[in-house]
Structure 1
């Protein structure tokens, strides 16, 4: 199928989806604009029904399957929810094969939308093979998460929705390539001078490598906190479209992704998953030179595990110097820990956590190892605290990250 045909499908999909999805807002971000020295707009697909853009492609694809009673898909996250939700609207049954260790909140979300969650295998690839087996045995269609022209067209409706904006570049998360393929076709058709730039995690770079080499490159291992875009290989169709319509793809690491998640929550009061934070991570990392340009960042989803969000927040606070961790050894005598806490209180720091370890065999008998996590105005305050404690004869040091 050629790009002009897909663009026609994108326009058809827009009408099809209008009564079903949310036309998510585009919001200017003063904070990210200031940090990146660009004029930054956020396309808030984390506000979309089911929490991500995936419902667009799933519903459009499934709405065209006349007479179909059941479908099957493989996914550990957003595609699973998009297919399940679409099936519930279209009167279909959806079987979703998910890896055995999929977080419970994702499994429960599928069930909540009326889908049947089938836990199988260790990885997405295991789940995919099982889903294909079910498709063949039961004679029901398999809904591919990205390498399908109708899926691509549904995702491409985002490109139509931002086309009224005056922008120089749109930055899009990349996994298997379905989202950026649809957006790229729409944007290049309507705003041919605008750049389309993809972002993929450094720990799962299959589309990046394939884009660079002009052929499918399959990675042996893939890991990132941006679990929504972890694929070992892109699609044949999506790679062809990316090579023709996408200007560049860059990589960001998990620290950069975590910082972007943190910034969006703190400064924009919006929750995004790792995949959704990729465009902001790319802007803030310096991987893109877009100073003075008008830029749209597609925040593709907000389905993040609450426990993962908590770990990310605490990690970034430590990395940014907003929290510090100090460790020292105190004599096992009454009042010794109070001396430390009194200094912390005098300096106006807040205690987040205290660990009191008496049984460490490496510590001299009669001594206790104490570790404190503290909220501080900035990383430079660690030296002030350490200096005060050492001045009292207490040997403390900062735990570095």
Structure 2
């Protein structure tokens, strides 16, 4: 955990509560006023009273629409006529493209060549001109800034812009209006735009509201900036929406002044949270969108007894990746398992093993024999059995039964 230094006065900050309120009045008719709902099951699970703000229900499935639309509406007619440009491979691209098209503003989005095809086509489907440049976001960003100068476009930054921050802060305006009892706001941090806007609103309330930021352990960029640490920022995180190596200058200043704490969450907690939100709330969130719940699961003592507002900031997750996350969660909970069993290569060996699975009422999903690539003797073989059980206790009973029958077994675990 980190405790950023708080300034005594926020008067000089680039975004005020009036800016956020004006942004909300400006965009309210064109965005979804997403609900803030209590989750009784997650409250029981975490020890806090948990309210969820469903920003994954926006048309493009992310809160990014708010800042993008606020920025577009503040442009001059001349700037609108020339068009806007952004560098993004994610939710910012789609939010900007959608509202620019709706308003008749030409939009160009520069994406890395490595961007998944589905994201390219979705952005094009919102009417944007997509340009693929470079293998990294940095290369795409650099090219976008070049085109900005060459063609007179207005560059719309994904987070380090007061107009973007003010638009993002409208999430908190709605959340606190719907549930005035919230005393703690938990918000994912990537570049810092969302938490900067939400903290601005929280600090303007007549009562004390704690503001907690959440970063993935693999990308603790804002944590590093505010604490003078040098933790590495790299890795293949599920929360790619907050995988930012360098936070914004404006946002770092605002987070340092307004945010009480930053916590880091592991990949395992992120996966667990995505799975829980689907199973319990029947809602799909991406890794970044699940970061707030991941913090409550990782630090229950930090939030026990609090009334917590959690932003589900986005729901754009690849369906195959979502399937993998769900299956991995089943494996961790003991409901799905792969058991490696040493057998003798002789008639009836598989039948005898299968009989134990039947006796224990365990469903076999898949079998895999290995006779050649194994360190067992020539007359031995390794059998991998993928199976489905009710829970960890049921799985433990199966393993006990196999070992009681003198089978050498090994549970193949996941990270």
State which of 135, 146, 155 in structure 2 corresponds to 1:133. 146
Distance 1:218 1:136, change over 3 A: farther
> For residue 181 of structure 1, what is the aligned residue in structure 2?
196
Q: Deviations over 1:73-117 (max 9, x none)?
A: 111211111111111111122221122222222222111211222
Whether the aligned pair in 2 keeps the contact of 1:94 and 1:115 (CA below 8 Å) is yes
Residues 3 and 185 of structure 1 are in contact (CA less than 8 Å); yes or no, is this contact kept in structure 2? no
TM-score (norm 2): 0.90
CA RMSD of the aligned region, Å? 2.1
Equivalent pair of 2:195/2:255 in contact (CA under 8 Å): yes
Q: 1:207 aligns with which of 222, 234, 246?
A: 222
Residue 337 of structure 1, CA deviation: 2.2
> How far apart are residue 346 of structure 1 and its match?
2.2
Relative to structure 1, is the Cα distance of residues 351 and 101 closer, same or farther in structure 2, using a 3 angstrom cutoff? farther
The counterpart of 1:321, out of the listed 334, 340, 343, is 334
Paired residue for 2:370?
Answer: 357
- Which piece of structure 1 moves more, 388-397 or 243-252? 388-397
Q: CA deviation at 1:310?
A: 1.2
| 1:9/1:350 CA distance change after superposition, 3 Å | same
1:161-200 equivalences in 2 (<5 Å): 161-164=174-177, 165=179, 166-200=181-215
The equivalent residue for 2:46 is 36
- C-alpha offsets along residues 130-188 of structure 1, whole Å, 9 cap, x if unaligned? 21122122221111000000000100101110122211101001001000001110121
2:255 alignment partner in structure 1: 242
Q: What secondary structure does 2:67 align onto?
A: helix
Per the alignment, residue 10 of structure 1 pairs with 20
CA distance in 1 between counterparts of 2:252 and 2:379 reads 65
SS of 1:49's equivalent in the other structure is coil
Partner Cα distance (1:328, 1:38) in 2: 43
Task: Give me the TM-score of the superposition, normalised by structure 1.
Answer: 0.93
Count of residues in correspondence between the two structures? 399
Say whether residues 1:348 and 2:368 are aligned partners. Answer: no
Q: Which runs of 5+ in 2 are unaligned?
A: 1-10
CA distance in 1, matches of 2:146, 2:231: 22
Aligned partner of 2:4 in structure 1 is none
Aligned partner of residue 237 in structure 1, secondary structure: helix
If asked which structure has higher relative contact order (CA below 8 Å, sep 6+), I would say 2
Q: Secondary structure at the match of 1:50?
A: coil
Give 1:313 deviation, angstroms.
Answer: 1.2
Q: Relative to structure 2, which stretch is displaced further, 24-33 or 160-169?
A: 160-169
The answer (yes or no) to whether the contact 1:103–1:305 under 8 Å persists in 2 is: no
1:371 aligns with 2:384: yes
Give SS of 1:190's match.
Answer: coil
Pairing partner for 1:159 from 172, 182, 187: 172
Q: Distance in 2 between matches of 1:327 and 1:12?
A: 62
**Correspondence for 1:27 among 34, 37, 40:** 37
